[in-house]
Amino acid sequence: MGKLDDMLCVVTGGARGIGKAICAAYLAEGARVVLTDIDEDEGRKAAAGLGCSFHRLDVASETEWDALAAAFPAI
């Protein structure tokens, strides 16, 4: 049993680097992960490779945060 079982984690900037590594670590601990990034191509590739969900998100956009909350109501 992982430390994050049954938790939904949203990671911003998850397409590469530290963000991608955080997604992998959360997944390893049992979390359901939503990888977000403004780079849709890299974000989708990263999410597919890790086995998690992807959602485009510009963290400076309130409208995009609203769309994320609507897409994943458990947040």
DSSP string for 17-46:
HHHHHHHHHHHHTT-EEEEEES-HHHHHHH
Q: In what order do the strands lie in the sheet with 8-12?
A: 8-12, 32-37, 53-56
Hunting for tokens 């530290």 — which residue is that? 18
pTM of the model: 0.92
Domains of the chain: 8-71 (3.40.50.720)
Q: What is the pLDDT of residues 17-68, one digit of tens each?
A: 999 999 999 999 999 999 999 999 999 999 999 999 999 999 999 999 999 9
Q: For position 49, what pLDDT does the model report? A: 98
Q: And the tokens for 17?
A: 């680097």
Question: Alpha-carbon Rg of the chain, whole angstroms?
Answer: 12
Q: Which amino acid is at 24?
A: A
